[in-house]
C-alpha cells in the first residue's frame, strides 16, 4: 500500500459548540456588549455565530467583528442560518457553515461503523469561584469546569458552566449547566427564583409560580429521562 493511502483516515465526529446568537449587526453595540460580558483573553473558545435573528445577515461586517470577538475569547469557527446562500459569506472568511436546523457541524461522510453507546460525560474537575454578586446583564462562564457563586445572582444575570452550577444565595437569573453536553451536571441553589434553567441544552423557562416546596428554597435541578427535574434539597 502506498504512503499516500495511509497518510490519514476519515472518521465520523461530532462537535459540541456554544452558539452566540446575534441580535444586532451594529459593531459598536456588539463591542460594548462584549466588553461588559467577556474579559480579554489569549485563550479563545470556539463558537458558532448564529445569524438567524438578524434581518439582513448578509450585511454583517465580519471583517471587523471577527477580530473583535477573538480578543474577547470568542473564536468564531462557523456561521449558522436557515438560508444556505449565506454559506458563501462563511467561505469568504474561512468559516464553516451550518444550517439553523442542524445543532452540529457537518463532517465529511465516512464509512458506516458500529460504535458502542456513549456513557454520560463525567463531571469536570476545574472550578471557578465567584465571591461577589452577579448583577443584571453580567454573564459568568466557567469554561471546562464547575461554577460556584457565593453571593446573589440578580434577575437578568446569566451563569454558564461546562460542569455543575452552585449558588449559595438567591438564584434569580439564568443558569445553564453542562453547556457542552454534560448530562450529569446539576444546578444547586439555596433560594430558587430562576428565570431560566438548562442542563446539557434541555431548557425550562420559569413563567409560572414555582411550587411552594421549591420557590425561594434550597433546590437542585438535574436531568432525568431527558427532562429537567427540580427537587427540594433534603427531600
| 146 closest CA partner among 198, 188, 191, 206 | 188
Give the CATH class of 16-98.
alpha beta
pLDDT of residue 10: 64
The two domains 16-98 and 126-232 share their CATH topology (first three levels equal): no
Task: Give me the CATH code for the 126-232 domain, please.
Answer: 2.160.20.70
Residues composing the chain: 235
Full-model pTM? 0.52
pLDDT of residue 15: 60
Domain boundaries, the chain: 16-98, 126-232
**Site of grid cell 459568568:** 140
Average pLDDT per consecutive 10 residues, the chain (235 residues; last block may be shorter) = 67 65 88 76 76 88 88 84 86 84 42 49 68 91 92 93 94 92 93 92 82 89 90 81
Neighbour count for residue 43 (Cβ, 10 Å): 7
**Each residue of 85-123: b (16+ CB within 10 Å) or e?**
ebbebbeeeebbbbeeeeeebeeeeeeeeeeeeeeebee
pLDDT of residue 197: 92
Contact 132, 151 (CB under 8 A): yes
Amino acid at each position: 500500500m502506498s504512503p499516500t493511502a495511509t497518510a490519514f483516515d476519515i472518521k465520523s465526529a461530532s462537535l459540541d459548540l456554544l452558539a452566540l446568537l446575534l441580535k444586532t449587526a451594529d459593531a459598536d453595540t456588539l463591542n460594548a456588549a462584549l466588553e461588559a460580558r467577556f474579559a480579554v483573553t489569549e485563550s479563545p473558545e470556539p463558537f458558532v455565530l448564529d445569524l438567524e435573528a438578524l434581518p439582513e445577515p448578509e450585511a454583517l461586517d465580519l471583517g471587523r467583528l471577527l477580530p473583535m470577538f477573538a480578543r474577547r475569547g470568542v473564536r468564531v469557527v462557523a456561521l449558522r442560518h436557515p438560508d444556505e446562500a449565506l454559506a458563501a459569506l462563511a467561505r469568504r472568511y474561512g468559516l464553516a457553515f451550518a444550517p439553523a436546523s442542524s445543532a452540529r457541524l457537518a463532517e465529511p461522510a465516512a464509512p458506516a461503523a458500529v460504535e458502542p453507546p456513549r456513557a454520560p460525560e463525567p463531571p469536570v474537575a476545574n472550578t471557578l469561584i465567584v465571591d461577589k454578586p452577579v448583577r443584571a446583564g453580567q454573564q459568568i462562564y466557567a469554561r471546562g469546569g464547575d461554577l460556584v457563586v457565593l453571593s446573589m445572582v440578580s434577575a437578568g444575570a446569566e451563569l454558564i458552566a461546562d460542569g455543575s452550577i452552585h449558588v449559595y444565595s438567591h438564584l434569580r437569573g439564568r443558569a445553564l449547566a453542562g453547556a457542552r453536553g454534560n448530562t450529569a451536571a446539576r444546578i444547586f441553589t439555596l433560594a430558587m427564583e430562576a428565570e431560566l434553567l438548562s442542563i446539557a441544552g434541555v431548557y425550562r423557562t420559569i413563567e409560572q409560580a414555582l411550587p411552594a416546596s421549591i420557590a425561594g428554597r434550597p433546590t437542585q435541578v438535574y436531568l432525568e429521562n431527558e427532562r429537567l427535574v427540580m427537587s427540594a434539597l433534603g427531600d
